Structure 1
Amino acid sequence: MRKMKEPVIGQPGPPPAQGEEEHLSLALANSAITLPGGHTVDLLAAPAQANDWLAERGLAPVDAGMREMCAAQLRALREQVRSLFAARAEGVPALPAAVSAVNDAMTRVPTAPLLRWDDETGPHRATVHPTTAIVDHALASLAADAADLLTGPDADRLTACGSAPCNRYLLRHGRRHWCSTRCGDRARAARAYARRTAAH
């Protein structure tokens, strides 16, 4: 029997939550999923998984050859983004370290094409993406998206899934505040059960 709290590797998570297609930072925040029964699914648990996750979203080539250090940076940014989303959804001040982490990720890469000068082409401007900078560029994109989400018109719709133990975030659509049909069904069943037991 598997021990509780062990991350489940290779198990697919639930379908994307509302808003993940528009905001990659929401998909990042939701890449660690708490399931009923004390199990978790971490879509970034291993370097190959992190590479696949970035490649599926156009943030890295399929053959980037992600290393554990890079995957760890991605998981670290995820925790800071989750912290900021929680603060925004709950209407409480954000942790300064989380704000700094997002700003640091955004400013780690040059956004302007830099001046280059070589013997063949002479002076020209180019944005260089060496292999070592792939993860930095991905982190910058994800951090910028988080900043856009938190400061844009969708910020008021950002909420945590209302079905315990789910830990995902979504953009609320109408009154719906569950990240998936499965979570909505579970929340309704729990409410019905609570009503039945209260009546006895």
Structure 2
Amino acid sequence: MRAMSDPLTAEPVLPPAPGAEDYLAIDFVNSAIALPGGHFIDLLGTPATTNQWLTERGLAPADAGVQEMCATQLRSLREHLRALFAARVAGLPPLPAALSAVNDALTKAPTAALLQWDDTNGPYRAAPCPTNEILDRALATLAANAADLLTAPDADRLTSCGSTPCNRYLLRHGRRHWCSTRCGDRARAARAYARRSHTTTN
């Protein structure tokens, strides 16, 4: 999986958070990135960047021609998933609207792979995906992956990055609560600064 890039500069922002390699849903909720200094990057901010994000993850062809309405639906699902992740991490009941949105997305695409027949290679199974169903299939795939994560043992390791202002989620390994080395360094520097300030004022 590639490091996230700023859509305007193509500069790498942060590497994928721990767990994003295994769960596309983590990569998806982390496609909106809060950075120091009040900066914010949305990898689904425009139809073009949304199409690129989907294409890089095998969820849409490069020429899918994603429209703003599609990007808006994906951003909406992302916010609902973020709400469910936050509820799971905090041990709180989920927002009914978020749960409903995910279940609605799960029903958008058929799950049964139909029997197909290729003149050269013979029979095989594949789910049909007409162009007008690309968005529905992407929404269903992302929602299903999030549901898999939230109901798996890995959900116990789901946490938010412990470095302000980062808003990314990750699967915790040991005591590590940071999504990247950069965030870990920033958190350690902030703690050291706070200790020095406390010592100076006493």
**Is 2:106–2:140's contact at 8 Å kept on the other side of the alignment?**
yes
State the SS of the aligned residue for 1:170. Answer: strand
Matched, 1:196 2:193: no
2:119 matched to which residue of 1? none
How far apart, CA to CA, are the structure 2 residues paired with 1:87 and 1:127?
A: 33
RMSD (CA atoms)? 1.7
How far apart, CA to CA, are the structure 1 residues paired with 2:113 and 2:67?
A: 27
The alpha-carbon deviation at position 114 of structure 1 amounts to 6.2
1:46 matched to which residue of 2? 46
5+ residue gaps, structure 2, are: 1-5, 117-124
Matched, 1:112 2:131: no
**Is 2:7–2:49's contact at 8 Å kept on the other side of the alignment?**
no
AA at the equivalent of 1:188: R
1:9-158 matches, within 5 Å, as 9-11=7-9, 12-113=12-113, 127-158=127-158
Deviation string, structure 1 residues 96-135 (Cα, Å, up to 9, x no partner): 110111110011111125699xxxxxxxx97431111001
AA at the equivalent of 2:43: L
* TM-score, reference length from structure 2: 0.87
State the SS of the aligned residue for 1:177. Answer: coil
Runs of 4 or more above 4 Å deviation: 113-116
Identity percentage of aligned residues: 69
5+ residue gaps, structure 1, are: 1-7, 117-124
How far apart, CA to CA, are the structure 1 residues paired with 2:112 and 2:188?
A: 50
Aligned length in residues: 185
The alpha-carbon deviation at position 43 of structure 1 amounts to 0.4
